[in-house]
Amino acid sequence: MPATLTGIRVYDVRFPTSRTLAGSDAMHPDPDYSAAYVVLATDSPGLEGHGLTFTIGRGNELCVAAVRSLAPFVVGQRLEDITADFARFWYRLTADGQLRWVGPEKGVLHLATAAVVNAIWDLWARAEGKPVWKLLADLTPEQIVSCVPFRHITDALTPDEALEILRRQAPSRAEREQELLAKGYPAYTTSAGWLGYPDEQVLALSREAVAQGFDAIKMKVGEDLEADRQRARLIREAIGPGRRLMMDANQRWDVPEAIAWMRELAEFDPWWIEEPTHPDDVLGHATIARELSPIGVATGEHCANRVLFKQLLQAGAIRFCQIDACRLGGVNEVLAVLLLAAKFGVPVCPHAGGVGLCEYVQHLAMFDFIAVSGSMENRVIEYVDHLHEHFLDPVVIRAARYQAPARPGYSIAMKPESLATYAYPDGPVWRDLASQARGMA
Amino acid sequence: MPATLTGIRVYDVRFPTSRTLAGSDAMHPDPDYSAAYVVLATDSPGLEGHGLTFTIGRGNELCVAAVRSLAPFVVGQRLEDITADFARFWYRLTADGQLRWVGPEKGVLHLATAAVVNAIWDLWARAEGKPVWKLLADLTPEQIVSCVPFRHITDALTPDEALEILRRQAPSRAEREQELLAKGYPAYTTSAGWLGYPDEQVLALSREAVAQGFDAIKMKVGEDLEADRQRARLIREAIGPGRRLMMDANQRWDVPEAIAWMRELAEFDPWWIEEPTHPDDVLGHATIARELSPIGVATGEHCANRVLFKQLLQAGAIRFCQIDACRLGGVNEVLAVLLLAAKFGVPVCPHAGGVGLCEYVQHLAMFDFIAVSGSMENRVIEYVDHLHEHFLDPVVIRAARYQAPARPGYSIAMKPESLATYAYPDGPVWRDLASQARGMA
């Protein structure tokens, strides 16, 4: 069905999560999970595209503003023209001769790009009547490659190599789709180990996670070594030696500190250490990976673009590739990283949590399984058990596995009442908090 | 004199440079040189701090918005508290637990950080009655080190190593200051070689540059190999074999393309190839540097932060370190990079041009000469001969050398009438252009 994009609406939505310390870590002690939320209107009755970019509070207003700066590149375009040469459209957004100066392909502008690009994928999937994972899984290798921005990564992956990877998996796609529909995709939980939680809560939540069937659990580390040791011991005891324990430092350390600190925690047998240092430090991650093996290094939620992922892979710096659905510039750039990871034989374990990230990344991991890597081995999707109630098509976890979404789109559309209630700064929740704060002052 | 910061004003200022193609290159064909311009007000009569961040048009509004997002961290602070522990204040701006998510230390937010931080340095220098280069050159090694954000670079440079570098140069600072005041600092020109200029103009401007005393001249490359060859031949003939010719691709190429293209241009004996590929590609630059030696690789104007510069130096990827006064997060982070470059023995050749960049970077290069590297060898500051008329204390070039500024501050204050005339979108220049455009439609 032909559709022309007629307008963009953008919302500043924030949830006051800092009041419960859910989401707290060594660098982000008081996040208010937030989204710059985008709705693309079209001239086709009932057809809209939804997308968001995730932030943790202050700064969300900048992503909202950046979506407005990108609007002229989108409004007036026809969906079929975009999808016919999607990489070209992606460059229109990311390589504008003026706008790219305030990126390029990083920070506020790239986060906003993701919201817009993902909204287009949502729109395309709705127009096709498929969830995004299925839309992707039904594209030919050639169609997929036409969506991928190869610029600045051809030294590591050429379009021909990408085609070869996709063609190798094509004959067995249907089999894996059946397996996915029957069994779902494995998840791990981060909900037990937030840094702001007291030990008893961590212990209770760890036991609960095990009871729910989780084989892998992640804790936050990096603020206080003794406290980390104490909590790691508690969790390891709760989950037993056979389950996986991951640790996440959220960029807290310098390189030598990361190595020294994790040697102290090695006795708890961590499967990976996530974000041990600055997200731009490819060589630092490579050094840490060498020094800490067999503990794997994982990173990606702050990895700005495919060029950084390319280098992490080239340098042997990561054993787990943690794509983020909106840190990268939307589905197109994620495809580039899935293909790079497949080429280098590194499993993709998406970053999720936040608000809407679980909803997003399930599609990406499922497509990766069906058409790119062809494997679920050593692969898990992060899962955090909050804020799903705001979505019209929330994730479904059964026996610690993500169930494949069935509804058309990217599962990211929020309930209109949530958009209204949590609108920042004028929605009722924020007005109430502001008046409480005035009352206390 | 004690002073408290009482407010921030921010201006969106844009110059319609795209109409002349001044500034045009292979990735930015039609820049409108712009600034998010900041004025810090204080409670001290007559004392203000000025700063700007440079952009090339669209997107400038996002830097303006980001300055407003940073304002709460600045307003109400006392200048003497900031400067007493300046690194700590720098982290307040760059490591806020919520705001850093939309960076960290890159893109829109970091560009805005630079405008604010530089305005504080301007303020400090005015309060001390000195130009910024002299303020810096009069600080003790310990004071300088207290301004430097070492976080995430201590694997390459510790505070003790930085102190050692600064102490080594301290006894001979006065000598070099005299030399600087007597002779100035060498410049090179980019004004002749913009990509949008026809050959005859390039030739005439190259001859003019030689007549003005320039020993080094830079041309833009990367769009069309035959055209590059033709223009390189013209310029080389105009400047002769003894002067330096630099080439600048502005990120246009993938890694293999950069190597192949520059091999074709090697016959014109380029001193350096600047920005051969994506600015985040440390390993790519290292590969290019290895393959193209003895042509040096130069980069930095899009190098987002000290962590990327650290890696470029660690990997042997650059022979010239091109700091940018507002791509990095202001003077404090520039100090980190000057010290890193000194440790690795790589000359710093600042990126300038744009609007206000020449005014800014002269201070940084002069301080580097006096107190850090102690040398002008193989060091040149970029010079572009436009838009200086908008500044109250514009750069002075004599015999192709920057003359040390004498007026207090960072030389970045613009004339009030320029701020008004070029205000975007409501200043008279932009209103006129808009009405002309309507007339033509």
The interface pTM score, or ipTM, of the predicted complex is 0.97
Please compute the mean of the pLDDT values over residues B149-158 and round it to a whole number.
98
pLDDT of residue B33: 97
Mutation pick from A32, A160, A280, A314 vs chain B, by most beta carbons of B within 10 Å, is A280
Same domain, B91 and B207: no
Examine residue A425 and state whether it is found in any structural domain, yes or no: no
Report chain B residues whose CB lies below 8 A from the CB of A251. Answer: 104
Examine residue A131 and state whether it is found in any structural domain, yes or no: yes
Active site residues of A: 220, 351
Report chain A residues whose CB lies below 8 A from the CB of B57. Answer: 98-99, 101
Please compute the mean of the pLDDT values over residues B2-14 and round it to a whole number.
97
Examine residue A300 and state whether it is found in any structural domain, yes or no: yes
Name the token pair of A18. Answer: 């800092």
B153 close contact with A: CB closer than 8 A = yes
Would you give per-residue pLDDT tens digits along chain A (441 residues)? 689 999 999 999 999 998 887 778 888 889 999 999 999 999 999 999 999 999 999 999 999 999 999 999 999 999 999 999 999 999 999 999 999 999 999 999 999 999 999 999 999 999 999 999 999 999 999 999 999 999 999 999 999 999 999 999 999 999 999 999 999 999 999 988 777 788 899 999 999 999 999 999 999 999 999 999 999 999 999 999 999 999 999 999 999 999 999 999 999 999 999 999 999 999 999 999 999 999 999 999 999 999 999 999 999 999 999 999 999 999 999 999 999 999 999 999 999 999 999 999 999 999 999 999 999 999 999 999 999 999 999 999 999 999 999 999 999 999 999 999 999 999 999 999 999 888 876
Examine residue B193 and state whether it is found in any structural domain, yes or no: yes
Q: What is the domain extent for residue A376? A: 166-416
- The larger pLDDT score, comparing residue B439 to residue A291, is at A291
Same domain, A104 and A21: yes
Cα distance between residue B75 and residue B93, in whole Å: 12
Partner A, chain B 266-325, Cβ-Cβ below 8 Å: 277-284, 287, 302, 304-305, 307-308, 310-311, 314-315
What is the value of pTM for the model shown? 0.97
Mutation pick from A98, A261, A326 vs chain B, by most beta carbons of B within 10 Å, is A98
How many domains does the structure of chain A reveal?
2
pLDDT of residue A164: 98
Same domain, B308 and B396: yes
A97 vs B28, B63, B66: nearest CB = B28
Active site residues of B: 220, 351
* Shortest distance, CA B141 to any CA of chain A (angstroms): 23
pLDDT beyond 70 at B441 = no
pLDDT beyond 70 at B422 = yes
Mutation pick from B52, B60, B98 vs chain A, by most beta carbons of A within 10 Å, is B98
Report chain A residues whose CB lies below 8 A from the CB of B103. Answer: 107-108
Examine residue A423 and state whether it is found in any structural domain, yes or no: no
pLDDT band of residue B23 (cuts 50, 70, 90) is confident
pLDDT of residue A1: 66
* Shortest distance, CA A84 to any CA of chain B (angstroms): 24
Same domain, B328 and B368: yes
CATH number at residue B274: 3.20.20.120
Same domain, B116 and B177: no
* Shortest distance, CA A211 to any CA of chain B (angstroms): 33
| Range B266-282 burial, b when 16+ CB lie within 10 A, else e | eebebbbbbbbbbbbbb
pLDDT digits (tens, 9 = 90+) for B161-212: 999 999 999 999 999 999 999 999 999 999 887 777 888 999 999 999 999 9
Same domain, A223 and A304: yes
Q: What is the 3-state secondary structure (H, E, C) of chain B?
A: CCCEEEEEEEEEEECCHHHCCCCCCCCCCCCCCEEEEEEEEECCCCCEEEEEEEECCCCHHHHHHHHHHHHHHCCCCEHHHHHHCHHHHHHHHHCCCCHHHHCCCCHHHHHHHHHHHHHHHHHHHHHHCCEHHHHHHCCCHHHHHHHCCCCCCCCCCCHHHHHHHHHHHHHHHHHHHHHHHHHCEEEEEEEEECCCCCHHHHHHHHHHHHHCCCCEEEEECCCCHHHHHHHHHHHHHHHCCCCEEEEECCCCCCHHHHHHHHHHHHHHCEEEEECCCCCCCHHHHHHHHHHHCCCEEEECCCCCCHHHHHHHHHCCCCCEECCCCCCCCCHHHHHHHHHHHHHHCCCECCCCCCCCHHHHHHHHHHHHHHHHCCCCCCCCEEECCCCHHHECCCCCEECCEECCCCCCECCCCECHHHHHHCECCCCHHHHHHHHHHHHHC
- Which residue is closest to A310 within chain B, CA to CA? B281
- Which residue is closest to B152 within chain A, CA to CA? A254
Same domain, B206 and B308: yes
Same domain, B240 and B379: yes
* Shortest distance, CA A152 to any CA of chain B (angstroms): 5
Cα distance between residue A331 and residue A131, in whole Å: 13
Examine residue A171 and state whether it is found in any structural domain, yes or no: yes
Report chain B residues whose CB lies below 8 A from the CB of A69. Answer: 58-59, 61-62
Same domain, B349 and B401: yes
Examine residue B379 and state whether it is found in any structural domain, yes or no: yes
**Strands, E, within A333-390: which ranges?**
381-383
Same domain, B86 and B181: no
pLDDT of residue A195: 79
Examine residue B155 and state whether it is found in any structural domain, yes or no: no
Same domain, B102 and B208: no
CB spacing of B102 vs A59 below 8 angstroms: yes
B115 close contact with A: CB closer than 8 A = no
Q: Considering A138, A157, A192, which residue would you say is the last residue of a domain?
A: A138
Mutation pick from B14, B17, B64, B101 vs chain A, by most beta carbons of A within 10 Å, is B101
Partner B, chain A 55-74, Cβ-Cβ below 8 Å: 55-63, 65-66, 69
CATH number at residue B28: 3.30.390.10
Same domain, B9 and B115: yes
B155 close contact with A: CB closer than 8 A = yes
